[in-house]
Structure 1
Amino acid sequence: MKNEVQIGCSSFNNRFWKGIFYPDNLSSSKMFEFYCQHFSTYEFNGSFYKFPTVRVFQNWYNKTPENFIFSVKAPKEITHFNKFEDCQDRINEFYNVCETGLKEKLGCVLFQFPPSYHFSIEKLHRIIDNLDLKFKNVIEFRHISWWNQEVWDTFRENNITFCSVSHPQLPDTIFTDFPLIFIRLHGKSKMFYSSYSPEELLYIKDAIHLKSAFVYFNNTASEAGILNALQLKHMLE
């Protein structure tokens, strides 16, 4: 992917989107097919809650168009329960499942740590040591202590992307000097619900102009996520 912007959402099966994005009479079983007609990427979050299988990802691979891209979120057993401690085999298994099932449709592999996971040099080194650097690794932190120069420099040295995250308790920085730009928009005022204004979307558009970027709207508990995704997509056309 060279100087290409991928815009999508972090979920798709949403009754609030009926009559706004999905036709009123569209069945739930046809929603993802309809989504794929309008977007070329999807952030797969189901793997966060349940460790995926090759068969699951093969099914997703088979029902998406050519050139469709998935970003996949790592299971919480790795990031939230074990926190990268003593789980190298499980991390490797996750990579293998993603690569085998999604093949060339695998985009980024996202590891999101919980707010309780504070910065330390030891944790930083553990993250680096456990990642397979041949993948497009993206790390999302939820504690501000990770917003520091040592983390950013170490990530760049290892070709790892620091996730730009829009979150009520975190800085709005869009990081443009990593291997790629990866933006997760959770809703700034009310998480998962709040909409982004045209001015906020224009700021994102200008930041990612002529760069390689993935932008995912996770403010999908209302109609905001799909409307914002369509608005930003239109701005970039």
Structure 2
Amino acid sequence: MGETRIGISGWRYPPWRGVFYPPGLPQHRELEYASRKFSTIEINGTFYSLQRPESFERWYQDTPPNFVFSIKGARYITHIRRLRDVEGPLANFFASGIFNLREKIGPILWQFPPSFRYDAGRMKGFFEILPRDTKQALSLARRREKRMTGRARLAIDANRVLRHAIEIRHESFVDESFVQLLREHNIALVVADTAGKWPYREDITADFLYLRLHGDKEIYASGYSPEALTRWSDRIHAWRIGSQPDDAHLISTQPPPQRHSRDVYCYFDNDVKVKAPFDAQDLIAKL
């Protein structure tokens, strides 16, 4: 059976204090606390701006052994440059300190804006320059821009596999060729529950699954009922034994490559009303 990790998207939310986090817990200990409840957490700060090596080192030290971070790719690459001429920004991203997470580096999430339409050539070019292990990432990071001088980490402790996942938000991606492109590059299509706001598809395109549960009734806000969590636990079980749900919502008519198991990463992002951490704990209990 594949490894399954259930967690939360981010960890620093003021409304969580005194509700999920114990009253009086210092802010600088929130990651330490959350990482003892979940085996994985998404780093969201990397989406908004380049972080610093000392931040990644601190996050590494604050979390227990066998913990894994997923890392959200920079919006400068996906939203501002929209994949045009991104080798320099991509080098900066990997030079910013990610290597300080060492064995706790998990999948890298690339989320595209709702206005970003599927462009096969642009996506293919992006996939071809994405590093597939930390050795390739280090080679890319060494081509960082000059502004990274003094704030880069350009060393790895070991060569480790890097996984990538793509979250789509435009209907034009509902295209058979997109699924085939993902499979050619072993990149996961994010299964994103967005209360019907953006496309929801469950095509298996890699040797792992990446789920983002934003809320099934109201995006970022609504919690998941026990029945809804049971449904998710059944789907995760099918995926981690190498199968897929009988009622899977698919783009492609072609079956995925057969596997005996797949790893599954699942993150709750319905954080506005402090639902995410409790829903994640309930799903862990069901699994």
Same fold (TM over 0.5): yes
For 1:184, the aligned partner's letter is: R
Runs of 4+ in 1 over 4 A off after TM superposition: none
* CA RMSD in angstroms, aligned pairs only: 1.9
1:197 aligned partner? 225
Q: 1:94 to 1:147 in 2, by over 3 A?
A: same
Hey, what's the Cα distance between the residues in 2 that align with 1:146 and 1:76? 19
Instruction: Calculate the TM-score normalised by the size of structure 1.
Output: 0.91
User: How far 1:83 moved relative to its partner?
Assistant: 1.1
* Structure 1 position 179, deviation (Å): 1.7
Which stretches in structure 2 are left out of the alignment for 5+ residues?
134-161, 241-261
Output the amino acid matched with 1:90: P
Counting only pairs closer than 5 Å after superposition, residues 70-219 of structure 1 correspond to structure 2 as: 70-97=69-96, 99-134=98-133, 135-167=162-194, 168-209=196-237, 210=240, 211-219=262-270
1:174–1:183 contact (8 Å) kept in structure 2? no
Greater gyration radius: 2
Equivalent-residue separation in structure 1 for 2:183 and 2:235 (angstroms):
19
Instruction: Please tell me whether the aligned partners of residues 98 and 106 of structure 1 are also in contact (alpha carbons under 8 angstroms).
Output: no
Larger displacement relative to structure 2 (163-172 or 63-72)? 163-172
1:217 and 1:231 map into 2 onto residues whose CA distance is 11
Matches within 5 A, 1:22-33: 22-33=21-32
CA distance in 2, matches of 1:175, 1:15: 35
Tell me the TM-score normalised to structure 2 length.
0.76
Instruction: Name the CA shift for 1:115/1:202 in 2 (closer, same or farther; >3 Å).
Output: same
Q: How many residues align?
A: 235
In 2: Cα distance, 1:220 partner to 1:77 partner: 24
Name which of structure 1's ranges 144-153 and 110-119 shifts more when overlaid on structure 2.
144-153
CA contact (8 A) 1:176 1:208 kept: no
**Secondary structure of the residue that 2:110 maps to in structure 1?**
strand
Matched position secondary structure for 1:51: coil
Secondary structure of the residue aligned to 1:233 is helix
9-18 or 210-219, which moves further after superposition? 9-18
Determine the structure 1 residue equivalent to 2:274: 223
Unpaired runs of 5+ residues, structure 1, are: none
